Amino acid sequence: MTDFTKTIALEQAVPEKPVLTILYQDEYLVAVDKPAGLFVHRSFMDRDEIYFALQLVRDQIGQYVYPVHRLDRPTSGVLLFALTKEVAQKLNEAFANKSNNDGVNEINSESALTKTYYALVRGHLPITAQAELVDYPLKEKLDKLGDKNVSRDKAPQSAKTYYQVIKQASLPITLGKFDSVRYSLVKLLPITGRRHQIRRHLAHLRHPIIGDINYGDNKQNPFFIQYFGFKRLMLIAKSLCFIHPITKQKITITAEFDPQWQHVFTEFNWSFDECTL
Domains and CATH numbers, the chain: 10-102+109-144+153-268 (3.30.2350.10)
Catalytic residue among 72, 147, 153, 258: 72
Strands (E), 123-256: 132-135, 160-171, 181-190, 235-243, 250-254
3-state SS, residue 88? helix
User: Residue 138's beta-bridge partner residues?
Assistant: 157
Q: Is 135 a catalytic residue?
A: no
pLDDT tens across the length of the chain (277 residues): 555 454 444 445 557 888 999 999 999 999 999 999 999 987 655 566 688 999 999 999 999 999 999 899 999 999 999 999 999 999 999 888 776 666 544 454 444 699 999 999 999 999 888 999 999 999 987 655 544 555 567 789 999 999 999 999 999 999 988 899 999 999 999 999 999 999 999 999 999 999 999 999 999 999 999 999 999 999 999 999 999 999 999 999 999 999 999 999 999 999 877 677 6
Plot region of 123 (φ>0 → left; ψ -120 to 50 → alpha; else → beta): left
Plot region of 62 (φ>0 → left; ψ -120 to 50 → alpha; else → beta): left
For residue 114, what are the contacts with CB-CB under 8 A and spacing of at least 6? 107, 189, 239, 240, 241, 242
CA distance 133 to 181: 26
CA distance 266 to 244: 36
Name the CA radius of gyration of the chain, rounded. Answer: 20
CA distance 277 to 274: 6
Q: pTM, whole model, 2 decimals?
A: 0.87
- Of 118, 140, 112, 132, the C-alpha closest to 197 is 140
- Of 151, 133, 134, the C-alpha closest to 142 is 151
